[in-house]
Structure formats: C-alpha cells, structure tokens
Amino acid sequence: MQASPTSWPRFRGAAPRILLLTSQYFLIGELAAACERLGVDHLLLDLGTREMDLDEFVAAMTEAFETFRPDFVLTVNHLGVDREGILASLLNQYDLPLASWFVDNPHLILGVYKHLLEPRTALFTWDLDTVAPLSAMGFEHVFHLPLGADPTRLAPHRAEPVEAWRAQVSFVGNSMLTKTLMRARAANPSEHLFRAAMEVAKAFAWSDAQQAGPFMAEHFPEVRAAYKAFNNPDRELAFETFVTWQATLLYRLDCVSRILPFSPLIVGDTGWQELFSAQSGWRYHPELSYYDDLPDFYPLSEINFNCTSQQMKGAVNQRVFDVPCCNAFLLTDHRRQVEDLFEPGAEIVCYASPDEIPGLVERYLADPAARARVAAAARRRVLAEHTYDHRMTFLMETMRKTFG
C-alpha cells in the first residue's frame, strides 16, 4: 500500500481545490453545484456503492490526489471513508486534510470506524449539540455547520399544478417503520432485550436527552450493559440506532395524528398506511422526487407540517429550509437552534408540544395573509444567509484557517 507522495502547495489560490468524495448522499450534489457557482475547482470521485478491493481503492485515491492535487478532501457523513483506516493513512502520506460534514447523528455513524482521531481531520456537524461531545471524544477540529437550501434547484418548473397535490395540510416524511425494523434485525437482540428497547425508546422520545447511548447509560443501565455485551461495534451501533428510530416513530406518530382532523395529505413510505390503517379522512401519496416534485408540491399546501427526527433534539432538519425556499408556509416543531436561524413568529411558526398543533393549524388556515407574510420573510432569510453557497463559503474559509 506504499504510495509515493507528491508535494504541492496547499491553499495558495483564491479558492481551494476540493476533492468531493462519492455521491451516495444527495447533499454532495448540492455542494458540487455550489462549487460551480462560486468558481471553485473541484473533482467528484464517485466510488459508487460497490465494494472495492484494497489495491483498486488505493489506486483510485492516489490518481485523484496526484492528478487533481486538491487542497482538501470533502465528504458527507463519512461516506467514502473506509472503516479500516486506509484513506486516513493515504491522507497522512499526502499531508491532506479531510473535511467530513455530518448531516445525520455522527454518534450513530462513527462508532464503526478506526483511526478517527487524525490531526488533519475536521468534522462539521449540522447539530450544535454534537460539537462538545465530539470534542470530548478527542476530535481536535469540530465546527457547527447547519443545513441550508439551494434555490436554483428548489425551483418550481411545472407549467400547470398537479391538482392531486393540493391540500390544506400536508406532511412529507418517513414513518420510520421499516427503518426501525431493519436496525432491529441488524442488532439482533433477544426478545427480552427487544421489548426493553421499545420501552427505552418511549422514554427517550419524550426526554430532553440528546443521545440514546448516554440516555440508556444513565436511566437504563441494565439495557446498556446487555447490548454492550454484544462486543460487536456494528450490532451495538444498530441497537442505539434502533432505539433512536423507534423514538422518532413514536414522536412522529403522535404529532401527525394531531393533523388528522384536517384531512391531511401524507407523503412518504407505506408505513403510514399501516400506522393509520384504522384512521379515515386522510390521503396517502407515495414518496415524491426531491428535485422533480417537491418544489412544485410545497406551494400547493396551505400548511406544510413538519416534525423532526429524534436523532436531533436541538437542530432543525432540511424541510425548515426547503419549504420557505419554495415560497411556502411551514409549521414545525420548536428546536432550540431554530432561533439562531430564523425569527420565531415572524419568519417561522413553531409548536412547543404536540398539544399546540391543532390550535396553530386552525389559526393559520384561517389567516392566509399571515401565512404569506411568514413564508416571504423566511424565504428572504434563506436567500440572505442559508444557501449552500453560504455553507460552502464557511467550510472553505474554516479549512483554510485551520490547515492553510
């Protein structure tokens, strides 16, 4: 695995040269588009989803390093980074920094990787609440970088509206039913431990705790000890994810059930049909295309409803940026970090608990002028501060200051 590192100047240009690693997550496309608009030289090395043998992986990386000569490598959620540490070794040989932007819970991802604490690795996380825990783990460079929106991609393009998409209230999101079951199968707990996990998830869903692992350590030490006894990082991580996703399922089920009296249109996986099989008055629509459909879908709802995953108790999700970017109105659950991004009441409307949902829905259905005013203000804020051009600019400046 010996490479012959070639030295080249780093961060000497007006903008850095960025090697984007793999396209398995949609956000890489947003970042590549932002690079184009900002005039940043970049190369997307798409490793795909197939397994590569060691020699092929090293050859692909070495060729990209020596021909493109990047200032740093950028990935999302550590995708493209091998668990064994081969990429970390290559980056060290070439003295190349790595930027990894986490837009899902990093604690549900990093546990299976080796050689994590490299001095030339910078972690960016969309959730401010994860900055301190990541630093406590030993990561030297950790930065907060929220999600954003791409107004050039999130633009309506249909000449005529799809009438079936019109709704007083709509919700676009995953029920988490299948995802939860898949993580449970991967964890493969005993029946007793499975039942215990379901109880833990119920408690975690309504707690203020940020992470399922520490929550179990404090409140359910016997459950924590039982799954740690797996002595298998993949199964342990799957178990914590299972608890987190089940908590999200319970929370979303409660929140979405509060909009059922308003005959909502629910868009997502078929799990919703199972969860609400006994309920009437609501409509189901299969998942829509993020780019092709949602920019035309959001403006056809008087209220776009949102309830956030329990993997993020303080941060906001993608929909908080996307809906106003499409000039549509959003009603979302309150998250502490929202107030750093939007002005509550003027640019965003939040419910503090599910009990508040029906009253807020009634209020804003009856006040189209208020909906239009909030949606317009939120869109102005997104365009001024929360595009992926803004996010890439911050990331590049931070990498230059840290490693230049």
- Residue 210 has a CB neighbour count (10 Å cut-off) of 21
| SS3 call for 20 | strand
Indicate the pLDDT class of residue 49, thresholds 50, 70 and 90: low
E strand segments, 167-307: 167-172, 265-268, 283-286, 301-305
Residue 76, C-beta contacts closer than 8 angstroms, at least 6 positions apart = 25, 27, 28, 31, 100, 101, 102, 103
Query: Cα(first)–Cα(last) distance of the chain, in Å?
Result: 27
Is the confidence at residue 176, as pLDDT, over 70?
Answer: yes
The residue type at 80:
G
Q: What is the dihedral of CA 247, 171, 267, 338, to 10 degrees?
A: -70
Residue 15, C-beta contacts closer than 8 angstroms, at least 6 positions apart = 38, 39, 40, 41, 396
**Residue whose C-alpha is closest to residue 267's, from 300, 245, 315, 314:** 300
pLDDT for the residue 337: 96
Per-residue pLDDT, averaged over 143-151, amounts to 97
Per-residue pLDDT, averaged over 55-75, amounts to 94
pLDDT for the residue 115: 76
Instruction: Tell me what percent of the chain is helix, strand and coil, each rounded to the nearest 5.
Output: 50, 15, 40
Predicted confidence (pLDDT) per residue in 295-325, tens digit: 999 999 999 999 999 999 999 999 999 999 9
Inter-residue contact 341 to 347 (CB < 8 Å): no
When the pLDDT of each residue in the chain is averaged and rounded to a whole number, the result is 94
Predicted confidence (pLDDT) per residue in 200-217, tens digit: 999 999 999 999 999 999
Per-residue pLDDT, averaged over 395-404, amounts to 97
Per the structure block, which two tokens stand in for 347?
A: 């640019």
Per-residue pLDDT, averaged over 101-111, amounts to 93
pLDDT for the residue 3: 44
pLDDT for the residue 50: 62
Per-residue pLDDT, averaged over 188-195, amounts to 98
Kindly list the distances between the CA atom of residue 123 and the CA atoms of 46, 97, 137, in Å, as whole numbers in the listed order: 21, 11, 12
- Residue 96 has a CB neighbour count (10 Å cut-off) of 21
Q: Burial level of 334, CB count in 10 A (0-12/13-18/19+)?
A: middle
Q: In what order do the strands lie in the sheet with 18-21?
A: 42-45, 18-21, 72-76, 98-102, 121-125, 141-144
Inter-residue contact 30 to 291 (CB < 8 Å): no
Per the structure block, which two tokens stand in for 243?
A: 């608890």
E strand segments, 81-165: 98-102, 121-125, 141-144
In our burial notation (b when 16+ CB lie closer than 10 A, e otherwise), range 278-289 reads eeeebeebeebe
Is the confidence at residue 184, as pLDDT, over 60?
Answer: yes
The residue type at 55:
D
Per-residue pLDDT, averaged over 357-369, amounts to 98
Rounded CA separation 402/404 (Å) = 6
Per-residue pLDDT, averaged over 362-383, amounts to 98
Is the confidence at residue 165, as pLDDT, over 50?
Answer: yes
Inter-residue contact 120 to 97 (CB < 8 Å): yes
Indicate the pLDDT class of residue 51, thresholds 50, 70 and 90: low
Indicate the pLDDT class of residue 1, thresholds 50, 70 and 90: very low
Per the structure block, which two tokens stand in for 346?
A: 């003027």
pLDDT for the residue 22: 86
Per the structure block, which two tokens stand in for 205?
A: 């869903």
- Residue 121 has a CB neighbour count (10 Å cut-off) of 22
pLDDT for the residue 5: 59
Per the structure block, which two tokens stand in for 291?
A: 């780019």
Inter-residue contact 331 to 323 (CB < 8 Å): no
Predicted confidence (pLDDT) per residue in 240-264, tens digit: 999 999 999 999 999 999 999 999 9
